[in-house]
Amino acid sequence: MGFQLYGSCESGHSYKVQLMLNVAGVPHEYEEIDLRLAREDRPEPFRSLAKYGEVPLLVHDGRPYVQSNAILLHMAEHLNAYGGETQERLERVREWLFWEANRVGMSMAHLRFGQKFDDEGAYSGTVLPWFRRRFDADMIRLEEELADGRAFILDDQVSAADFSLCGYMYWPGQASVSYPPLVQAWLNRIAALPGWQHPYEMPGADPW
Ligand SMILES: N[C@@H](CCC(=O)N[C@@H](CS)C(=O)NCC(=O)O)C(=O)O
């Protein structure tokens, strides 16, 4: 049965899971879901298995897993790697995943969405500046975290925390942002890992 991933190359949430599978060398099938289709028009079995209607969906030995960070935790535990090696590392990864969901996974995702996909003008006015202030604070936090010279977010070993945090960060132009030096160097280190590819170059990617 193995692994089947359903995602979208326009989704940083999908990307973090696909990136972890690729870097870990986990063989899997990938199906691109066109999120421009109404939920009821998306293909089966995605429609039935994606509990919240969103990508990513990972099917592992026939069982569906949703929510990108929950999937990363599942994979870290399954692989006994990328933070899953010990309870202590797993707990530190988990903290970062919760931070990511409310911080950089929100600020970056919305800065990008508001400038690339917002045809209705919903992000005009004070909304984009609000996300930019959050993004600026997020970069200060990450820059502080990396100040001791460690290679990755926990230590010198890449973990699920890195895959999660970088999910939206390889589209700086689309979000009109730039990164402070230690954050940029950390992103470069992730991009140098065997198996890394830009979201638009991932197998099965079909950019809009
Ligand atoms: N909290 C979810 C967020 C997933 C999410 O927002 N997915 C978006 C794409 S980035 C989606 O599938 N949107 C399509 C829709 O809502 O119909 C996760 O971490 O997986």
**How many CA atoms within 13 Å lie on the side-chain side of 138?**
26
Residues 146 and 186 in one domain: yes
- Per-residue pLDDT tens over the stretch 11-34: 999 999 999 999 999 999 999 999
Residues 40 and 97 in one domain: no
Residues 15 and 91 in one domain: no
- Per-residue pLDDT tens over the stretch 86-132: 999 999 999 999 999 999 999 999 999 999 999 999 999 999 999 99
What pLDDT is attached to residue 1?
84
Q: Whose CA is nearest to atom 1 of ligand 1?
A: 67
Atom of ligand 1 nearest to the CA of 12: 10
* Kind plus residue range of the DSSP H or E element containing 21: helix 12-24
- Residues with Cβ within 8 Å of 147's Cβ and at least 6 positions away in sequence, in order, are 182
This prediction's pTM: 0.98
Residues 123 and 186 in one domain: yes
For 121, other C-beta atoms within 10 Å of its C-beta total 9
Task: Tell me if 206 is assigned to some domain.
Answer: no
CATH code of the domain in which 41 resides: 3.40.30.10
What is the rounded distance in angstroms from the CA atom of residue 126 to the CA atom of residue 68? 29
Residue 44: band (very low, low, confident or very high) from pLDDT cuts 50, 70, 90: very high
Residues 161 and 117 in one domain: yes
156 CA distance to ligand 1 centroid (A)?
Answer: 30
Q: How many domains does the chain have?
A: 2
- Residues with Cβ within 8 Å of 37's Cβ and at least 6 positions away in sequence, in order, are none
Q: Whose CA is nearest to atom 15 of ligand 1?
A: 54
Q: Which domain holds residue 91?
A: 87-191
- Average pLDDT taken over every residue of the chain: 97
